[in-house]
Amino acid sequence: MGQNMLEVRHLCASFFTQKGEVKAVNDVSFEVPRGRIVGIVGESGCGKSMTVRSVMRLLKYPGKIVSGEVMLDGRDLMRLSGREMAAVRGAEVSMIFQDPMTSLNPVMKAGKQVSEAVRIHQHVSSEEAKRRTLEIFEAVGIPEPARRYDSYPHQLSGGLRQRVMIAMAMICRPKLLIADEPTTALDVTVEAQILRIMKNLCGTGTSVLIISHNLGVIAQICDYVYVMYAGRIVEQADTFTLFEHPMHPYTCGLLNAVASLRLGREKLDTIPGVVPNLLHLPEGCSFSLRCEKCSGICASKMPDLMKTGEGHMVRCHLSGKGGES
């Protein structure tokens, strides 16, 4: 057994639109070690959802996986048939989505939707499935589980719905839990509770891949972080290193924006410019148009991911010189 629960190698995924191929995920590689929480951070539209949906093989039309390997516990998910993949979803790898308001079926009882996940993968009676559902409701901190079992989604608050989603995702004890911005739609106190639940669950043997555009969320629970920009990984490091010694100008920009918010400075430090159109990426480094330190080579050649320290990689021609600002 390798030490990684999930290994994604050279993943490319695109939207095939009438205007052309939108390379939303471009040669992305990352891994989630066993029992760890790994984060992917980046602005909206940088391809985070597309990346993790590729792992589930649940891309939105007209998105398609172009190439790459997705090894879950040593097995390449890309080679599985549709039927085999369906058997993996929910049982070995499960996913929770951004908006708990819309991700539960409005005409089905919350409890039924959770116990359904057990009954798809295991031959258990409906009583047993219900018993386990109540158990997991308890574990994710849903008060009055028996009453909530019979509630419909519209009768639950956002926080409770997201707990139901977590319960659904965890009930088969998957190897990997993918959470796509699980707290973006929730308020801050609920966010903290949900993150704590996820952290606890991780302690029970499930590895977690969490996506966020919020560095605060990442800082709270992740062991290791990937920073994504315009469909590529631009920096990766363990959480401490990333926050203390960011190397990529984009990462530095993100951190400065957060810091200026926290310190309540008059002027918010933002990264100038907007995310580039994925249909018309600049010739060289995708970030070059917004980068303060952009120099000759940046505009002509895409930098490779280069190792700058133990477990720390950066995609920048200036890494080593460009670092901390």
Parallel, antiparallel, or unpaired: how do β-strands 37-41 and 224-229 relate? parallel
Query: According to CB under 8 A, which one of 21, 27, 69, 99 is a site residue for other proteins?
Result: 99
**Total residues at interface with ligand ADP (CB under 6 A):** 13
Interface stretch with Mg ion, choices 47-55, 59-67, 168-176, 300-308 (CB under 5 A): 47-55
Interface stretch with ligand ADP, choices 16-24, 149-157, 193-201, 238-246 (CB under 6 A): 16-24
User: What 8-state DSSP symbol labels residue 60?
Assistant: P
Interface stretch with other proteins, choices 105-113, 243-251, 259-267, 271-279 (CB under 8 A): 105-113
Query: According to CB under 8 A, which one of 44, 105, 157, 204 is a site residue for other proteins?
Result: 105
* Residue 94 near which of ligand ADP, other proteins, Mg ion, none (CB within 5-8 Å, type-dependent): other proteins
Query: Shortest distance, CB of residue 208 to Mg ion, whole angstroms?
Result: 17
Own/partner long-range contacts of 233-237 (Cβ < 8 Å, ≥24 apart): 233/28, 233/29, 233/30, 233/305, 233/313, 233/315, 234/287, 234/314, 234/315, 234/316, 235/312, 235/313, 235/314, 235/315, 235/316, 236/30, 236/305, 236/311, 236/312, 236/313, 237/309, 237/311, 237/312, 237/313
Token representation of residue 5: 């629960």
3-state secondary structure string, 135-170?
HHHHHCCCCCHHHHHCCCHHHCCHHHHHHHHHHHHH
Parallel, antiparallel, or unpaired: how do β-strands 93-96 and 176-180 relate? parallel
* Residue 47 near which of ligand ADP, other proteins, Mg ion, none (CB within 5-8 Å, type-dependent): ligand ADP
Cα Rg of the chain (Å, integer)? 20
Query: According to CB under 6 A, which one of 49, 94, 162, 212 is a site residue for ligand ADP?
Result: 49
Judged by CB under 8 A, does residue 90 bind other proteins? yes
- The span from the CA of 37 to the CA of 60, in Å, is 25
Query: According to CB under 8 A, which one of 13, 104, 221, 313 is a site residue for other proteins?
Result: 104
Query: Shortest distance, CB of residue 48 to Mg ion, whole angstroms?
Result: 5
Closest by CA to 235, choosing from 285, 276, 198, is: 285
Question: Edge to edge, what strands does the sheet with 93-96 contain?
Answer: 93-96, 176-180, 207-212, 37-41, 224-229, 232-238, 312-314, 306-309
Judged by CB under 6 A, does residue 28 bind ligand ADP? no
Interface stretch with ligand ADP, choices 46-54, 71-79, 118-126, 183-191 (CB under 6 A): 46-54
Query: According to CB under 5 A, which one of 49, 113, 183, 207 is a site residue for Mg ion?
Result: 49
Query: According to CB under 6 A, which one of 5, 6, 11, 22 is a site residue for ligand ADP?
Result: 22
Judged by CB under 6 A, does residue 14 bind ligand ADP? no
Neighbour-count burial for 144-170, b at 16+ CB within 10 Å, e otherwise: ebeebbebebeebebbbbbbbbbbbbb
Query: According to CB under 8 A, which one of 5, 38, 139, 168 is a site residue for other proteins?
Result: 168
* Residue 287 near which of other proteins, Mg ion, ligand ADP, none (CB within 5-8 Å, type-dependent): none
Q: What is each CA distance from 243 to 218, 219, 240, 267, in whole angstroms?
A: 10, 8, 5, 21
Judged by beta carbon, residue 95 or residue 136, the one nearer other proteins is: 95
Judged by beta carbon, residue 98 or residue 319, the one nearer ligand ADP is: 98
Query: According to CB under 6 A, which one of 104, 201, 278, 285 is a site residue for ligand ADP?
Result: 278
* Residue 50 near which of ligand ADP, Mg ion, other proteins, none (CB within 5-8 Å, type-dependent): ligand ADP
Q: Which residues here bind Mg ion, judged by CB under 5 A? A: 49
Q: Which residues here bind ligand ADP, judged by CB under 6 A? A: 15, 17, 22, 24, 42, 44-50, 278
